[in-house]
């Protein structure tokens, strides 16, 4: 074959792989944005917007979701982080790094002549085996006093001992039953506030102040709580109706009925009223005179948390027409309500409903508030995942062991599909390689050391001490990760890698618009 023919053949191959190579490059760029943050020696990333506002963070999902990324494959990678965060609350960087490695290995195999279909077959086989191995190694957590719970919080909380202690205390307050409820997220109980003291308490915080300062700053005893999922205002009338004599009379009647309904709350002994929207001046005056604390425009998620903690049932404004006896059934109870003027929020504690803890994380300056909150949320997500699915050795040690086991799959696979398992093998090696690289050591050397040590000792918990560079038992020194974080990271990485590898052609869509009757094209 002449040089000209070889060049033409090479050009055809490159053209055929153009979409795959383009997508792989986008995936690598996303991976490169977060890989330097992995592990105890990982560094921070600075995000700068067009106005010069700066966010400095070590949190993978924050970096990925706030960075500018226009390429479709890049957005697919970013969606891993969102899915990982939503499902298990931690491990976003690990998932992204493994997905990037799977794609890179897959592209390398395809460029060497392995058909994409065979690569995907092998990837699926390796992924299935890898997930089986990780599931089998999970050690259950049945007691929140188990020291492993604190270690999980410490590792996920980037070795911030104060934050780890707060998160574990909050977990103990809410209990295992609550932590295993899939509708509850411990991370949602975290609140970082500039100038606040670190604290955990049984209760919730409303990030609003009372409508005025004429009510007591603190309420105690058996405080009745009413939550109005609506505006605390009279019913509306159309402007056309108000223009008539009958309409105006109806307006006055509604105003009188509204005042009577609001006065029922004072008669019932309500101490706190939370309102989703605005509060009419007449209602504010009546409730203030009765010494009732009123908070308006409260976020719906905060209303739900208060309702759950106090046992209140949310009601619409029309529900105020009910009899006092019926209204009583909608009231919740709390043991304490206090308005913190410095922090501009209200604390509701000792509710008679379900246990609900709040983790208040203090920060010295405004610049570090966001990062302290992200660290605490990661720790909370990790603790909850550990309770739900158990723990495994961390530091990339378990993944390296699983890589050797997945490699054995190749022996039982005929044809070129065996090569596809390498995508999973290399992805499982990557976390340890990146952790030791970020710590300043040679990844090839340290992976070799750990492999040899694990085989010799028959222990999959051996990894690298990032301070000394020596092989150490991760489980013995307390480097533990939640099993669901590892499992979901590998699963999500495999899914997005397969999706990217399957893309053969990239075509720009035509512009589409709605004309009121249906979807139309631009031509």
| E strand map for 308-352 | 332-340, 345-349
Cα torsion angle, 337, 340, 343, 344, sign:
positive
Say which CATH class 199-363 falls into.
Answer: alpha beta
Distance (Å, whole) CA 246 – CA 241 = 8
Tell me how far CA of residue 58 lies from CA of 55, 61, 151, 154, 175, in angstroms.
Answer: 10, 9, 19, 15, 30
Distance (Å, whole) CA 422 – CA 425 = 5
Strand partners, 206: 346
Residue 362: per-residue pLDDT:
84
Q: Whose CA is closest to 399, among 470, 438, 471, 454?
A: 454
List % helix, strand, coil for the chain (3-state, nearest 5).
Answer: 55, 15, 30
List the domain boundaries for the chain. Answer: 13-139+392-501, 199-363
Distance (Å, whole) CA 297 – CA 78 = 33
Common-topology check for domains 13-139+392-501 and 199-363: no
- Homologous superfamily in CATH for domain 13-139+392-501: GroEL-like equatorial domain (1.10.560.10)
Q: What sections of 296-362 are H helices per DSSP?
A: 300-310, 324-328
| E strand map for 207-264 | 218-228
Distance (Å, whole) CA 365 – CA 343 = 14
Cβ neighbour number for residue 154 with a 10 Å cutoff: 22
Distance (Å, whole) CA 259 – CA 254 = 9
Tell me how far CA of residue 200 lies from CA of 164, 167, 348, in angstroms.
Answer: 12, 8, 13
Cβ neighbour number for residue 255 with a 10 Å cutoff: 14
pLDDT, tens only, 395-413: 999 999 999 999 998 888 8
Per-residue pLDDT of the chain (523 residues; tens, 9 = 90+): 443 444 444 444 455 678 888 888 988 999 998 999 999 999 888 888 888 888 888 888 888 888 888 888 888 888 888 888 777 777 889 999 999 999 999 999 999 999 999 999 999 999 999 999 999 999 999 999 999 999 999 999 999 999 999 999 999 999 999 899 888 889 988 988 887 788 898 899 998 999 988 888 899 899 999 999 999 998 876 766 666 777 777 778 888 899 999 999 999 999 999 999 999 999 999 999 999 999 999 999 899 999 999 999 999 988 999 999 999 999 999 999 999 887 788 999 999 998 888 998 888 777 788 888 899 999 999 999 999 999 999 999 999 999 999 999 888 888 898 999 999 999 999 999 999 999 999 999 999 999 999 999 999 999 999 999 999 999 999 999 999 999 999 999 999 999 999 887 777 777 666 555 555 555 4
* The pairing of beta strand 391-393 with beta strand 357-363: unpaired
pLDDT, tens only, 16-69: 678 888 888 988 999 998 999 999 999 888 888 888 888 888 888 888 888 888
Please tell me the pTM assigned to this model.
Answer: 0.81
């Amino acid at each position: 074959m002449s040089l000209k023919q070889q060049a033409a053949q090479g050009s055809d191959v490159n053209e055929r792989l153009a979409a795959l190579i383009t997508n792989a490059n986008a995936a690598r760029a996303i991976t490169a944005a977060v890989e330097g943050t992995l592990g105890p020696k990982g560094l921070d990333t600075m995000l700068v917007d067009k106005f010069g506002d700066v966010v400095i963070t070590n949190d993978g999902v924050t970096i990925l979701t706030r960075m500018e990324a226009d390429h479709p494959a890049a957005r697919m990678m970013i969606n891993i982080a969102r899915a990982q965060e939503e499902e298990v609350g931690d491990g976003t960087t690990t998932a992204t790094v493994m997905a990037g490695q799977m794609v890179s290995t897959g592209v390398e195999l395809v460029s060497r002549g392995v058909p994409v279909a065979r690569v995907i077959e092998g990837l699926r086989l390796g992924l299935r085996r890898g997930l089986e191995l990780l599931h089998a190694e999970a050690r259950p957590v049945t007691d929140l006093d188990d020291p492993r719970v604190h270690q999980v919080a410490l590792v996920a909380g980037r070795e911030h001992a104060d934050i780890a202690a707060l998160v574990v205390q909050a977990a103990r307050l809410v209990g295992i039953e609550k932590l295993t409820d899939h509708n509850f997220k411990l991370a949602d109980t975290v609140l970082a506030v500039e100038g606040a003291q670190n604290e955990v308490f049984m209760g919730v915080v409303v990030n609003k102040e009372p409508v005025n300062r004429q009510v007591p700053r603190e309420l105690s005893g058996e405080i009745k709580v009413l939550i109005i999922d609506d505006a605390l205002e009279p019913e509306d009338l159309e402007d056309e109706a108000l223009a008539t004599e009958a309409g105006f009379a109806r307006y006055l009647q509604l105003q009188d009925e509204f005042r009577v309904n609001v006065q029922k709350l004072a008669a019932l002994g309500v101490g706190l009223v939370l309102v989703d929207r605005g509060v009419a001046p007449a209602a504010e005056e009546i409730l203030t005179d009765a010494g009732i604390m009123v908070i308006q425009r409260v976020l719906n998620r905060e209303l739900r948390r208060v309702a759950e903690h106090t046992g209140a049932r949310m009601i619409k404004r029309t529900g105020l027409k009910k009899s006092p006896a019926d209204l009583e059934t909608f009231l919740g109870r709390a043991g304490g309500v206090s308005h913190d003027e410095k922090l501009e929020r209200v604390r509701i504690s000792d509710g008679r409903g379900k246990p609900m803890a709040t983790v208040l994380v203090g920060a010295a300056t405004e610049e570090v508030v966001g990062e302290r909150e992200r660290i605490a949320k990661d720790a909370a997500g990790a603790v909850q995942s550990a309770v739900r699915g158990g723990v495994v050795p961390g530091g990339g040690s378990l993944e390296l062991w699983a890589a050797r086991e997945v490699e054995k799959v190749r022996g039982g696979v005929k044809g070129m599909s065996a090569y596809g398992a390498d995508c999973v093998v290399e992805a499982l090696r990557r976390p340890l390689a990146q952790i030791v690289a970020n710590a300043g050591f040679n990844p090839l050397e340290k992976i070799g050391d750990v492999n040899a040590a694990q085989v010799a000792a028959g222990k999959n918990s051996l990894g690298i001490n990032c301070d000394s560079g020596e092989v150490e038992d991760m489980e013995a020194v307390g480097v533990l990760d939640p099993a669901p974080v590892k499992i979901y990271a590998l699963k999500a990485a495999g899914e997005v890698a397969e999706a990217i590898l399957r893309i053969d052609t990239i075509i720009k869509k035509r512009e589409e618009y709605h004309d009121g009757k249906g979807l139309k094209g631009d031509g």
